[in-house]
Amino acid sequence: MKSLSVSKAVTALMLAGLVLLPLYSSLSGNIFILTLFTRIIILALAAASLNLIMGFGGMMSFGHAAYLGIGGYAVGMLAQEGVGSGFIQFPVALAASAIYALVIGALSLRTRGVYFIMITLAFAQMAYYVASGLARYGGDDGLTIYKRSDFSGLVDLSNRTQFYYLCLACLFGVIFLIWRIVNSRFGLVVQGLRSNEQRMQAIGFPAKRYQLVCFVISGTMCGLAGALLANNTDFVSPAVMYWTRSGDLMVMVILGGMGTLFGPVMGAVVFLLLEEFLSQITEYWALIMGPLLLLIVLFGRGGIMGMLGRAGRG
Amino acid sequence: MAEPLLRVEKLVRRFGGILATDNVSLDVASGELHAIIGPNGAGKTTLISQLTGHLEPHSGSVSLAGRDITYLPAYRRCALGLARSFQITSLLLDFTAADNVALAAQAHAGTSFRFFANARKERSLRDAAHAALDRVGLGHRADIVVNRLSHGERRELELAVALASKPKLLLLDEPMAGLGVTESQRMVKLLQELRKEVSIVLVEHDMPAVFALADRISVLVYGRVIASGDPAAIRANEDVKRAYLGDQHVVTHHG
């Protein structure tokens, strides 16, 4: 029980910090930290969505950044064409991500293990090159978004604090949904398939159907992160879909703790803060970051959540 | 015998040049416990895999209660009332015993595309799980993660999982494998109880158990059924003695 309370306490502390951050930012006048954490929260949302298929579903998707791009391009392209309403942009971003996930999932889930990793990676790289070829929408150089999604006064995305809380609300909403899903009938089936697919087939569950639906839910959630990210940077480019970004998301999930609710958030916070501060110290920050991550993955099984659990027990 | 529950007709399965299943035909009547025995490599597991849908035959047919299921995938057969246990225990190791059984019950109780309500709080599924666990004597271990169960307990859990789907026919692939003497005896007792409720196809090496339990026995050698009949007939069959049992002592000792 004590082990639970340590990781719970740290999680609660982190969440309270995220909720109170704008207060600190306005009191101290540190605007930069608000911008930084907006980005962290959006990528935490993406990592949480990846965790649904990777941690709970056992599907190692190495192409999850594709949805960041699809969600982002949905917003950017519609804005370019004069459709500025968020009530159109966001549903389109989610729908486009869902459709992409459905097609990619239907094809990729015919394979297992390393092949699944490689094929999801290949599709994401295809998406990357398709986006690079969109001459009308900036091609390689990307697409500047001159006006953020307009929610007709409901919430103003150009207001830093409002945008921050919108992102945070989306993150909490998605985590709440994931929590409900993993404890539902559907979630138990998906986790059962991760544990032992043969057994699940033998007791009467068609594996692929459940995995595909899970894949689509996860992709749609990440599409939301993509739409938010484009608004955050006022810009979308093929680079958000590049495979290294998919790798970053995987690292966040593994770092925080696969198959835990708040692990991906923890992972995103630690990963991006490390990246931020190390890159201020030295240009060769990756030289420090790499070994550090290796150590955590090698010796801290179960990621940060796992280590907190053990610290509580020890 | 009007309509056998399970009918296997002229089933053939090859692996390269080897005929692992060679024109196997057999019927299992409703309420019967039908044992399949044979030396190692006789093709028992290959046969079972074709009955459960994990392996496709090259020719022949399998039907369950008059319905052709030869090419149905495993999960569809399960829905039609066919449940199995695995020779090597195959369970959800990181789930509790109750979760393992409840999932089997869930597969047969409406859609599992429900995303919001907590499945572990569904009374009907939990009750079904506990009933099945009690049935095999694991009621007190319901909340233990399978990883921590002993081998014998896992074998019993396999049975509980199979029972939870309320099958018409239970395919048991060596349920005694790896069990100690007392555990085996418990398992035989348990099967003696279960056979009153459900038809069973039993693949087993443990001869005392087979002869104690079976209504009928089919003997498989090199993929072929060389004899089929009640235990007394099998015991007396010269082909069986010669081809399979070999050592006289097993046959007479348990006679």
Q: How far apart are CA A117 and CA A112, in angstroms?
A: 8
Among candidate residues B140, B166, B192, the one where a domain is terminated: B166
Assembly ipTM: 0.88
pLDDT tens, residue by residue, B73-92: 988 999 899 998 888 889 99
Residue A210 contacts B where some CB pair is shorter than 8 Å: yes
Same-domain check for residues B215 and B111: no
The residue count of chain A comes to 314
Among candidate residues B114, B144, B166, the one where a domain is terminated: B166
Burial class of B44 by CB neighbour count within 10 A (0 to 12, 13 to 18, 19+): buried
Same-domain check for residues B132 and B172: no
Residue from A179, A185, A214, A218 whose CB has the most chain B CBs within 10 Å, to mutate:
A185
Give residue A314's pLDDT: 55
Q: Are B201 and B34 in contact (CB under 8 A)?
A: yes
A183 in a domain, yes or no? yes
* Average pLDDT score over residue span A152-159: 92
A35: closest CA of chain B, how far (Å):
34
Same-domain check for residues B198 and B74: yes
Structural domain boundaries, residue A161: 20-251
Residue from B116, B125, B161 whose CB has the most chain A CBs within 10 Å, to mutate:
B116
CATH number of the domain encompassing residue B180: 3.40.50.300
Structural domain boundaries, residue B181: 1-81+167-255
* Average pLDDT score over residue span B128-154: 94
Residues of B in contact with A200 (CB under 8 A): 92, 103
Same-domain check for residues B103 and B180: no
Q: How far apart are CA A152 and CA A88, in angstroms?
A: 12
Give residue A298's pLDDT: 84
User: pLDDT-derived band of residue B241, with 50, 70 and 90 as boundaries?
Assistant: confident
Residues of B in contact with A202 (CB under 8 A): 52, 74-75, 78, 83-84, 86, 90
Of A183, A203, A213, the CB nearest to B107: A203
Please spell the DSSP secondary structure of B157-217, one letter per residue: HHHHHHHHT--SEEEEE-TTTT--HHHHHHHHHHHHHHTTTSEEEEE-S-HHHHHHH-SEE
User: pLDDT-derived band of residue B205, with 50, 70 and 90 as boundaries?
Assistant: confident
Tokens of B153: 């307990």
A165 in a domain, yes or no? yes
Q: Are B47 and B225 in contact (CB under 8 A)?
A: no
Among candidate residues B166, B184, B200, the one where a domain is terminated: B166
Give residue B188's pLDDT: 92
Residue A187 contacts B where some CB pair is shorter than 8 Å: yes
Residues of B in contact with A206 (CB under 8 A): 73, 75
**What is the tally of structural domains in chain A?**
1
Mean pLDDT for all residues in chain B: 89
**What is the tally of structural domains in chain B?**
2
Are residues B113 and A202, on separate chains, in Cβ contact within 8 Å?
A: no
Of B75, B86, B120, the CB nearest to A205: B75
Same-domain check for residues B171 and B62: yes
Same-domain check for residues B71 and B110: no
A222 in a domain, yes or no? yes
Q: How far apart are CA B98 and CA A127, in angstroms?
A: 44
A303 in a domain, yes or no? no
Q: Are A43 and A255 in contact (CB under 8 A)?
A: no
* Average pLDDT score over residue span A208-223: 97
For B110, residues 6+ apart whose C-beta sits below 8 A from its C-beta are: none
User: pLDDT-derived band of residue B251, with 50, 70 and 90 as boundaries?
Assistant: very low
* Average pLDDT score over residue span B18-31: 92
Same-domain check for residues B125 and B8: no
Same-domain check for residues B1 and B60: yes
Same-domain check for residues B171 and B140: no
* Average pLDDT score over residue span B103-121: 93
Q: How far apart are CA B35 and CA B16, in angstroms?
A: 28
B103 in a domain, yes or no? yes
E strands in chain A: 143-144, 235-236
B86 in a domain, yes or no? no
Residues of A in contact with B95 (CB under 8 A): 191-192, 195
B87 in a domain, yes or no? no
Same-domain check for residues B49 and B131: no
pLDDT tens, residue by residue, A44-98: 999 999 999 999 999 999 999 999 999 999 999 999 999 999 999 999 999 999 9
**A294: pLDDT strictly greater than 50:** yes
**A300: pLDDT strictly greater than 90:** no
For A84, residues 6+ apart whose C-beta sits below 8 A from its C-beta are: A78, A147, A149, A150
Give residue A309's pLDDT: 84
Q: How far apart are CA B112 and CA B117, in angstroms?
A: 11
